[in-house]
């Protein structure tokens, strides 16, 4: 029997309290990361009447190296994984026979192009830019996906501290609760005047209509799900929104057929719903860096502008240290001149500078900034040879490999799967070929970083083909061992070549057969022409009473015939 609205509200309130308890231990670390590394992100204590959201938040930061390192990493992931100016994924199926079908390849390329076009029109790339920063810094990022009437797809990035997560038995996120603010007039317009509380309803058309109202939104598995049922009961995921502090009055109960939340995590420990990121790894060094930077500033300041000591009788007397200022003293001048309280030693600044440099290097390594700035920061004479650059890049990509796999599984694949289903549901693709029916689609990344990870596969193909080619000159039968068509297909797949450029194997074989037939016919015509020319030459040559052709064939001369 379906729950009543009051019973559902009680259930949601209990779950929300439990998720708050679970997340509580993560918050101190997030606050430190936000304070010292990413002051623009993170929100923990927002209230409906809060009006200081625009105040400066980086007062605790003296050295900005973590901010710059995160900026490099975020730009590197954006350009290396999901560049806006070029394709970064393609669609395929597991069965190679189906995947290599010409119609299937063409349709999958068409679908990927349409999706990239929709992505360019939406706010996806702005959202990805924020998500890369959150997942690298805080270890967890989050964004809500929704269909949109104007842009087809719309994405709503969240910041750490505003949402709560929970996992299912497979350690996959299946519960999402967010706390957000909307102006009172927007709440009335979105949910209806009859659903909002009396406090919000009274603000309609008044000065307080633009004041914020705190709302709670929960998406969780629908325990009342029934396939093909009407309304919310037919949705796998239940979506409920209510006003904070008024759980007994729900604003909206809706649902989703597919999980609509992106929750990428940098590195997950055990079955935790939240991950740890570069910000956690760099936390201690970033804090140490702030202390060292303050001490270096103090050391320089004490040397340039040290504390002074003056005779007591000069108190409140006019004096100045600016250039050209004249000070007048009565009596012995040596007794009246102010002196530094102690002599500073500028040589101590050098060790502080070295310590700061060491800490900066550690922070840059924590954020993989040395990977993305590898060439510009390479020691030695520039430029280096290409082989060395490739070797260095492959070595460092091995360190980033697990992270790329995590982002592929938790962020990019769910994003593409959800977007594909939404566009398919709205009829934005041409009808798929019948050969594709029943086959689930798979997502392959073809971005720069993904191709760099596949470099070993590409090199093995090229080396094998080159080795066979070197043998063919001495041993022609070696060429029979190489399946050229399969080698071309696998090489094209590894480097992400568009399907329209490479012909299907069957079509290529037909072209080869047609070309061989044409060559055979041309050879036959050439042989026939040579024979005809030879016959003509023999017919014109006389051998006794017969011509050469008659003598060769034993034919009777034409004039001797009866």
Instruction: Give me the phi and psi of 50, to 5 degrees please.
Output: -65, 130
Q: What is the pLDDT of residue 297?
A: 85
What's the rounded Cα separation, in Å, for the pair 261 and 144? 5
Element housing 550 (H / E): helix 548-553
Q: What is the mean pLDDT of each run of 10 residues along the chain (562 residues)?
A: 79 93 94 92 77 72 92 89 89 84 87 94 95 95 93 94 94 94 90 89 81 92 89 92 85 93 90 93 94 88 80 74 74 71 78 90 90 60 56 65 86 94 91 88 78 64 77 76 75 66 72 77 71 61 58 55 48
Residue 342 has a pLDDT of: 72
pLDDT at 38: 92
Q: Residue 446: what pLDDT?
A: 80
Burial class of residue 393, CB neighbours in 10 A (0-12, 13-18, 19+): middle
Beta-bridge partners for 89: 445
* pLDDT at residue 376 in the model: 47
> Crossing angle for the helix pair 124-138 and 27-36, nearest 10 degrees?
110
Residue with tokens 């250039």: 323
pLDDT of residue 221: 95
Q: Which residue carries 């070309």 as its tokens?
A: 515
The owner of tokens 């009829």 is: 427
Q: Which residues of 193-215 are buried (b: 16+ CB within 10 A; e: fewer)?
A: eebbeeebeebeeeeeeebbbbb
Helix, strand, coil percentages (3-state) for the chain, rounded to 5, are 55, 15, 35
pTM of the model: 0.79
φ and ψ at 441, to 5 degrees? -80, 150
What pLDDT does residue 496 have? 63
- Give the count of beta carbons closer than 10 Å to the beta carbon of residue 166: 17
Q: Which phi and psi (to 5°) does residue 295 adopt?
A: -65, -35
């Amino acid at each position: 029997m379906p729950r009543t609205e009051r019973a559902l509200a009680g259930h949601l309130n209990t779950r929300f309290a439990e998720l708050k308890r679970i997340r509580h231990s993560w918050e101190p670390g997030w606050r430190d990361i936000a304070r010292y590394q990413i002051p623009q992100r993170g929100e923990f204590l927002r209230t409906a009447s809060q009006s200081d959201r625009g105040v400066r938040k980086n007062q605790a930061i003296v050295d900005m190296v973590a901010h710059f390192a995160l900026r490099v990493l975020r730009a590197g992931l954006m350009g290396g994984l999901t560049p806006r100016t070029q394709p970064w994924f393609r669609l395929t199926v597991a069965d190679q026979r189906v995947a290599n079908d010409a119609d299937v390849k063409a349709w999958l390329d068409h679908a990927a192009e349409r999706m990239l076009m929709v992505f360019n029109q939406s706010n996806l790339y702005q959202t990805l830019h924020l998500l890369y920063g959150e997942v690298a810094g805080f270890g967890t990022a989050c964004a809500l996906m929704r269909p949109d009437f104007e842009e087809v797809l719309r994405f709503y990035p969240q910041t750490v501290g505003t949402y709560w997560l929970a996992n299912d038995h497979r350690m996959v996120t299946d519960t999402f609760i967010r706390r957000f603010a909307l102006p009172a007039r927007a709440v009335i317009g979105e949910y209806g005047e009859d659903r909002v509380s009396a406090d919000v309803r009274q603000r309609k058309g008044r000065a307080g209509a633009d004041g914020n109202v705190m709302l709670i939104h929960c998406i969780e598995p629908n325990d009342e799900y029934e396939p093909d049922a009407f309304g919310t009961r037919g949705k796998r995921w239940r979506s409920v929104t209510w006003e904070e502090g008024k759980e007994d009055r729900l604003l909206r109960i809706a649902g989703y057929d597919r999980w609509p939340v992106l929750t990428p995590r940098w590195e997950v420990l055990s079955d935790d719903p939240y991950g740890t990121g570069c910000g956690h790894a760099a936390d201690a060094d970033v804090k140490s860096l702030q202390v060292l930077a303050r001490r270096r500033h103090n050391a320089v300041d004490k040397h340039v502008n040290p504390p002074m000591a003056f005779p007591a009788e000069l108190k409140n007397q006019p004096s100045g240290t600016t250039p050209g200022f004249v000070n007048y003293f009565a009596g012995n001048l040596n007794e009246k001149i102010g002196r530094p309280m102690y002599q500073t030693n500028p040589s101590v600044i050098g060790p502080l500078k070295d310590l700061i440099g060491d800490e900066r290097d550690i922070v840059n390594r924590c954020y993989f900034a040395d990977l993305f700035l590898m060439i510009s920061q390479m020691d030695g004479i520039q430029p280096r040879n290409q082989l060395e650059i490739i070797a260095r890049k492959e070595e460092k990509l091995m360190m980033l490999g697990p992270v790329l796999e995590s982002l592929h599984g938790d962020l990019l694949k769910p994003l593409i799967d959800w977007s594909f289903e939404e566009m398919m549901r709205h009829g934005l693709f041409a009808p798929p070929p019948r050969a594709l029916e029943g086959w689930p689609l798979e997502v392959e990344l073809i971005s720069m970083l993904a191709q760099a990870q596949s470099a070993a596969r590409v090199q093995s193909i090229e080396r094998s083909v080159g080795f066979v080619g070197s043998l063919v000159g001495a041993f022609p039968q070696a060429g029979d061992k190489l399946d050229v068509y399969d080698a071309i297909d696998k090489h094209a797949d590894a480097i992400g070549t568009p399907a329209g450029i490479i012909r299907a194997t069957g079509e290529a074989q037909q072209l080869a057969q047609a070309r061989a037939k044409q060559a055979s016919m041309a050879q036959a015509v050439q042989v026939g022409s040579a024979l005809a020319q030879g016959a003509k030459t023999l017919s014109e040559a006389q051998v006794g009473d017969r011509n050469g052709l008659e003598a060769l064939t034993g034919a009777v001369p034409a004039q001797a015939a009866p």
